[in-house]
A and B are shown apart, each in its own frame.
Chain A
Amino acid sequence: MSIFIDRDTRVVVFGATGNEGGFWTKHMLELGTRVVAGVTPGKEGANAAADAKIPAGRPGQQGLSGQQGFSGLPVYHSLRRALACYEADAAMLFVPPRFTKDAVFEALDSGLKKIVTIADGIPLHEALQIRAAARSCGARVIGGNTSGVISPGFAMMGMFPYWIERVYKPGRIGVMTRSGSLTNEVTAMVVAGGFGVSSLIGVGGDSVPGTRFAELLPDFQADSGTDAVVIIGELGGTMEEEVAQALAAGSFTKPVVAFIGGRHAPAGKRMGHAGAITSGGSGSALDKIAALRDAGALVAERPSLVGECLRQALGMNPQ
């Protein structure tokens, strides 16, 4: 079980003909993701990720009119043209930051409700417009500045080295994160603690992410495949505090374990991510840790303690 994406989610990839987009599209297919088509303006007729080794048992690319002949992905000029041939549920955007708003609005215009954008560097005001538009359409945009979304062992939208088994082992722990490398670090500790991951959602490191931590909690609450949630947060913004509010209000009842980076970060310094900065004394990692603890979450002081915190939160014996 999982949230956001599973083996049946039909994905269209924007930018599958690019270097990076092609590389990760191939891996999305090889993990078993149901990628149905690509969209690159001006490249209709191309065959993207043609060398992907699609796992046995996955349905091949079957268009609405039954057309075949692609070993990888058929590419279309536009999403509208792709959707005339294939049905889809989600859009994966391997699109540079300055074209991201255009691509998100194209996906929303066609009625897709799940969109993941990895772009690092989306202009701030466009990030506001993207989130506002997604909310008014009842759609969910994950990112930017993220690796994406993965349900290990089943499907992914984005860029994850799922073949590194000590990180991306399937299991029953949900993960939400604002970071990339730190996610690999912390998730490896989840696995080292004897657990695996149900779904991992990278909301991204920007100050205006399309989707916020607390907005994913209802999905994890409803997912019978998730026993507990690990939050990988950091200084800046209020997303961790919003999770604490949801816990305190009793609207999320599964155990929460958090790791929060930036406890020693100097005030007013931007720590790498656009969103990782305190402002006027608010958004510090220590405030976030206090808020989460007050609401009943366990906060690991170091990544290596995450596994132990999970065991404790789930009422298991220490390892």
Chain B
Amino acid sequence: MKLFEYQAKEVFASQGLSIPQGSIATDSSGAEQAAMAIGFPCVLKAQVLRGGRGKAGLIKVAHTPLEAAKAASDLFTSPHGVRKILVEKAVDIARELYLSITVDPFSARALILACSDGGIEIETLARTAPEKIVRENVDLDTRLLPFTARNCAYSLGLEGDLAKKFAQVVESLYKVFRALDAELVEINPLFVTKSGGLVAGDGKLSIDDNSMSRHPEWEPGRDYFGSEVEFEAYKEGIPYLQFDGDISLMCAGAGLTTTVYDLIADSGGTVANYLEFGGPNYRKGLKAMELCVKNNPKVILIVTFGTIARADIMAEGIVGAISTLKPSCPIVVCIRGTGEDAAAATLRAAGLDPLTDTEMAVKRAVELARGETGGHA
């Protein structure tokens, strides 16, 4: 789960990292007051979970209370769904660095990435000038030793006091990485101030979803999700992605659902939502269909080929959901796997026409979405 910048910075500060003086505002007058309390110039930063905020105009500088009020009002009325603004004191910047820690699945260690050019997109740099990126691996059981942190600093060409401070920042950021079971912590840019300090200009912190039970204080609320239905699906533990097309996917198995998504796009169809009710969720047919119906899709497409997710139980769930919800759109069903014969019988008894071929099912769903009858649905 990705945290907002202001939350990431709170965590950074709790581990001894310097962050700019700032406060959070939830409306324009609050932002103006925060700006006056902090002093000018100040920076107003929209708290949204997307990258490229600078280019999207979601970060603004204000030199007067009037500018701050105008900037806040612009941000809150932007189409990006801004609910909070971080108002920060502007930093006297001498130069910018880059620092992040992530996981290296191959070596099975943590991976520190550092660069003497901050503010850049590290993935772009990795392609264009990989030699500029310093990489250091850390064995989780050995922990981060001081020499590794020093190596990061000296490999960047830092000297004297700045090198020492940078090594301390690396150690603090590693503590954040471990304490929050992060998949990524990133400071980009890391400001070197004119007085020689190091201040986190931005903060990214993504907690591993599989470790969320250890971090109940970060349980995400509604503002972490793009839509109401996404939030509802999250609370149910059902993997769900919101799109705005015609065909609602109610499939089982992540890889199969992703493949069905591809096949629909190949056939010129569009997807209303990605929903996967396999694995531990295979008894949640009613809830899954309820989420799908909320998108008013033209077709609901059900494709499964389950092992643990038993076809017979899913078929019963689907038939029950249809009789409860009475969806007005056609439903295309293709259920295979453990218990498939009983599943087909259950579906037929309920008046459905179960298919056995994924690509045929996709074809039929795309035709139905286009308004072509495509035979019997």
B-binding residues in A (CB < 8 A) = 20, 97-98, 120-125, 128-132, 135, 147, 159-161, 164, 177-185, 188, 205-209, 212, 232, 234-235, 237-238, 242, 261-265, 269, 271-274, 276, 279-282, 285, 301-304
Contacts and interface: CB of A to CB of B under 8 A. Distances in A.
A123 B211 contact: yes
Contact of A147 (B107, B274, B280, B307): B307
Given A123-B214, A124-B210, A272-B257, A132 B304 contact: no
Kindly name the residue among B239, B305, B340, B357 whose own CB sees the greatest number of chain A CB atoms within 10 A: B305
Interface string B255-274: 11111011101100000001
B123 A279 contact: yes
Given A181-B256, A303-B259, 4 more contacts: A181-B337, A188-B305, A207-B103, A235-B258
Given A161-B307, A184-B305, A212 B254 contact: no
B183 interface: yes
A138 to B, nearest CB: 14
Contacts of B123: 279-282
Contacts of A269: 241
A125 B253 contact: no
B371 to A, nearest CB: 23
A185 B178 CA distance: 39
Interface in B274-314: 274, 276, 278-280, 304-309
The dominant DSSP class at the B interface is mixed
B359 A302 contact: yes
Contacts of B306: 180-181, 184
B109 interface: yes
Contacts of B305: 181-182, 184-185, 188
19 contacts: A20-B308, A120-B279, A123-B210, A124-B210, A128-B103, A128-B108, A159-B307, A161-B338, A179-B253, A181-B304, A184-B337, A188-B305, A205-B254, A242-B106, A272-B253, A272-B274, A280-B126, A282-B123, A303-B259
A180 B265 CA distance: 22
Contacts, number: 175
Kindly name the residue among A122, A125, A205, A234 whose own CB sees the greatest number of chain B CB atoms within 10 A: A125
Contacts of B252: 181
Kindly name the residue among A97, A132, A301 whose own CB sees the greatest number of chain B CB atoms within 10 A: A132
Contact of B262 (A135, A208, A263, A280): A263
Contact of B183 (A207, A242, A301): A207
Contacts of A179: 253-256
A47 B64 CA distance: 77
Contacts of A159: 307-308
Given A179-B253, A181-B253, A272 B178 contact: no
A208 B255 contact: no
A93 B369 CA distance: 44
Nearest to B340: A164
Contacts of B254: 179, 181, 205, 271-273, 276
A95 to B, nearest CB: 15
Contact of B140 (A98, A129, A282, A303): A129
B42 to A, nearest CB: 30
Given A180-B255, A207-B105, A208-B108, A274 B209 contact: yes
Contacts of B60: none
Given A131-B108, A185-B358, A262 B258 contact: yes
B358 A273 contact: no
B337 A164 contact: yes
Nearest to B251: A181
Contacts of A263: 262, 265
B258 A276 contact: yes
Contact of A132 (B109, B121, B210): B109
A282 B127 CA distance: 10
Nearest to A233: B255
Interface in B321-377: 336-338, 340, 357-359
A232 B255 contact: yes
A131 B110 CA distance: 12
A304 B253 CA distance: 18
B181 interface: yes
B161 interface: no
Contact of B181 (A125, A183, A262): A125
Contacts of B107: 132
A232 B121 CA distance: 31
B236 interface: no
Contacts of A147: 307-308
Contact of B255 (A125, A160, A234): A234
Given A123-B211, A124-B208, A161 B337 contact: yes
Contacts of A279: 123
Nearest to A23: B308
A185 B278 CA distance: 14
B106 A238 contact: yes
B159 interface: no
A101 B309 CA distance: 25
Nearest to A182: B255
Contacts of B308: 20, 147, 159, 180
Q: Which 6 A-B pairs have the closest CB atoms?
A: A272-B254, A181-B253, A179-B255, A280-B123, A182-B255, A131-B108
A97 B279 CA distance: 14
Nearest to B338: A161
Given A128-B109, A180-B278, A261 B258 contact: yes
A272 B208 contact: no
A207 B184 CA distance: 13
Contacts of A123: 181, 208, 210-211, 214
Nearest to B336: A184
A234 B258 contact: yes
B141 interface: yes
A97 B210 contact: yes
